[in-house]
Amino acid sequence: MKPSMFNCRVSFARMEEGIGPLYPVVDDIVLLQRLLALGVRTIQLRIKDPNEPDLDAMIEEAVASGKTAKAQIFINDHWEKALAAGAYGIHLGQDDLKDADLEAIAQAGVRLGISTRTAQELDLALSIAPSYLAIGHIFPTPTKVMPTPPQGTEQLAKHLKTVDGRFPTVAIGGIDLSVASEVWQTGVDAIAVVRAVTESGDLPSTLQSFSRILTEEARHEHSASV
């Protein structure tokens, strides 16, 4: 029987390079490799279909590409395959936590990111002490069906106070260039984006625009003006 997440007493590896500020979530290896070539250093491969015929190969190629680029590649959900491929990190949702062998993940030195949607889920994730915490969804998003309403930046800021800098934090859900600055001003460590990169018609320009927004200087300038 796998160790329960409630009695897991292991320590997850830290992220040496930090997590942010931009954290794309993609389901395509070619796009992942393009992002790496453009300098992005933290990316999540999220393949939701467990019956994807090329799943093993995609995970292996993502892991290998990350190692070549010395980047931080997280594999969503498929923790056993990620461990077998020697992944840098694994990202799990709340439901996935129930079945994952957290001790095996920790003992392998693999980083763990956990999704949270409510204050209760955040408290549970904090008790597990992962490598980072994802907080969402911040705005409405069509990329997946969500069981909870959007949280907005005010609730995000409250969650960040609960975390109190103990772990890196990622905001996710419906975030694009039009709202990135608003999210960034909450003090979150990284912003996860999906459609903003998967639907971009000019990926280098999109990344440059995010880079201008997601700087400490931009955050400080905003704070000084309010």
pLDDT in tens, 167-183: 999 999 999 999 999 99
pLDDT at position 217: 76
Which tokens is 27 given?
């389901």
Q: Does the reported pTM lie above 0.85?
A: yes
Q: How far apart are CA 155 and CA 180, in angstroms?
A: 16
Nearest residue to 152 via CA among 141, 136, 166: 136
- Domain residues of the chain, as ranges? 22-215
Which tokens is 223 given?
């704070």
Residue found under tokens 């590649």? 73
Q: How far apart are CA 126 and CA 133, in angstroms?
A: 8
Q: How many CB atoms lie within 10 A of CB 179?
A: 16
Q: How far apart are CA 114 and CA 112, in angstroms?
A: 7
What residues in the chain have per-residue pLDDT under 70? 1-9, 143-144, 222-226
pLDDT at position 3: 42
CATH topology of domain 22-215: TIM Barrel (3.20.20)
Q: How far apart are CA 221 and CA 39, in angstroms?
A: 25
pLDDT at position 5: 47
3-class DSSP state of 81: helix
Q: How many helices (H) and strands (E) does the chain have?
A: 11, 8
Number of residues written out for the chain: 226
